[in-house]
Structure 1
Amino acid sequence: MSNKTRWLAIGGAAIVGVAFWPTLGTGALWGQTQTLNPGTISSGTLDLAVGSAGVSDYAFEALGKDGLGAGDYAQAPLSIYNSGDVVMKYRLQDANQSNPGVSLDLKVSVVASEDACSEEGDPAGASVVYDGPMIGAQAPEWRTVEPGASEVLCMRGTVGEDAEQNASTTATFTFAAESR
C-alpha cells in the first residue's frame, strides 16, 4: 500500500470516528418523581327493575288487549326502577314479537306518573323516546335514573293496517342498563 493510500485510509477512519464520537459521547441520565393525590375507585350495584313490583323479569299484561283491529292500540304505563346504589343509564334495547304477522308499531314516551298514561288518548306531558316498528325497537338515547328513583314510560302498541286477521302475538321488551 502506498503512503498516500495509507494516509487516506487513516484520515477516513478519523473522520468516521469523529462523526460517531458526538453520538456515542452524549448520554444523559435524568429522573423525576411526582407524588399525586390518589384517585378514588368506587363500586356499587347496578340493578334495573321494572313494573309495579320492581322485578327484573316482568309479565307486562297491562299492555295486552283483546279484539284490536287495524289502527287500534293498547297503552299502559311501565315503571323503570333503579334498585341499585349507583346512577343508572338505561334504554329500550330491543323488542320482539311471538307472531311477526301481527304488525305492531310502538310508541314509548316518558311521563311524570302512571296516571299520566291512561288507557285512552295521548299521554299528558309526554316526551317521546321511541316511535317506530315494534320488532327491533331501540331507543336512541340513554335515560338517567338516580339510585332508589324511578321513571315512568308510557308504552303504546298500535296494530298496523296489514296485520293478520284473528291472530295474536306477545311482545318481549329488553332494556339495557349501564352505570354512569
Structure 2
Amino acid sequence: MKHRRYWALAAASVVVLVFGSAQTTGALWRDQEVVAGGTVTSGTLDIKVGPSGTEVNNYTLAALGATNLRPNGFSQAPLSIRNAGNQPFNYRLQGASVSGVNPIPFNLTITKVVAAANCVVNGGAPTGSTTVLFNGPASNAQVPVAPAARLLAPTANEVWCFRLATVSEPPQSATSQVTFSFRADQT
C-alpha cells in the first residue's frame, strides 16, 4: 500500500510540472494591441549590383580579374549599386574576403565615380568627379565602417570603381578569388 501512494504522488508531480510549464510558455507568446482605423502600407528594400541599368542580386565582376599580374600590378572595374525598391535604405560593403591557395594580399581602393565610364577597366586612375571611399587591405574591408552607412534613395544608384593591386612581392603561381558582400537596412 505504501508503494502505491508514492507512485501516485510521483505521477501527480510530473503532471503538475508538465501543465505548469505549458501555461508559462503560452503566456510568453501572447500579445494584443488595439489600433485606430487607418491604412497599413509596406515597402520594398531591394539592393541590386552589376552593370548600370541591368543590376541583379548576385553578380560576378569578371572585369576585376586578371591573369599574370606582376608585382605592383592591378585590376580595376566599375560596379553599379542600385536601390531597386520603393523605400530609401542605408547600405555598405559589409565585407570582403580573399580566398584561394596561398591568396594574394591585395590592396583594395574603392572610389565613387559619376559613371562607369569614369572607371576605365584596368586603366589609369578614375576620372571626373571622384571620392575615395576606401584604401587598404582587401581582406575584411568594410565601407563605410559599421555602424556608418551610405543613404540611397529609391531608384537611385551609385557607381563604385574597385581597384585590386598586388604587393611588390606577391606569391608566385597564386590564384585568388575576392568576394564582396553588401548590406542594406531600412532608414
TM-score (norm 1): 0.74
Which letter does structure 2 place at the counterpart of 1:126?
Answer: T
SS at match of 1:115: helix
Corresponding position of 2:23: none
Identity of aligned residues (%): 36
RMSD of the alignment, in Å?
1.9
CA-CA distance at 1:106 after TM superposition: 0.5
Corresponding position of 1:121: 124
Corresponding position of 2:78: 77
CA-CA distance at 1:96 after TM superposition: 0.7
CA-CA distance at 1:56 after TM superposition: 1.0
SS at match of 2:109: strand
- The one-character-per-residue Cα deviations of 1:39-83 (angstroms, maximum 9, x if unpaired) are 987531111000023111111101001111121110010000101
C-alpha separation in 2, matches of 1:60 and 1:39: 46
Corresponding position of 1:138: 142
C-alpha separation in 2, matches of 1:41 and 1:122: 49
The count of aligned residue pairs is 144
Indicate how the Cα distance of structure 1 residues 84 and 162 shifts in structure 2: closer, same or farther if over 3 A, else same. Answer: same
Which letter does structure 2 place at the counterpart of 1:71?
Answer: N
C-alpha separation in 2, matches of 1:38 and 1:71: 65
TM-score (norm 2): 0.71
Indicate how the Cα distance of structure 1 residues 153 and 39 shifts in structure 2: closer, same or farther if over 3 A, else same. Answer: farther
Indicate how the Cα distance of structure 1 residues 167 and 147 shifts in structure 2: closer, same or farther if over 3 A, else same. Answer: same
Whether the aligned pair in 2 keeps the contact of 1:50 and 1:79 (CA below 8 Å) is: yes
Which letter does structure 2 place at the counterpart of 1:101?
Answer: P
Pair 1:157-2:164 in alignment: yes
Which letter does structure 2 place at the counterpart of 1:76?
Answer: A
Corresponding position of 1:68: 69
Corresponding position of 1:173: 180
Whose radius of gyration is greater, 1 or 2?
1
Indicate how the Cα distance of structure 1 residues 175 and 47 shifts in structure 2: closer, same or farther if over 3 A, else same. Answer: same
Gaps of 5+ in 2: 1-35
C-alpha separation in 1, matches of 2:109 and 2:38: 43
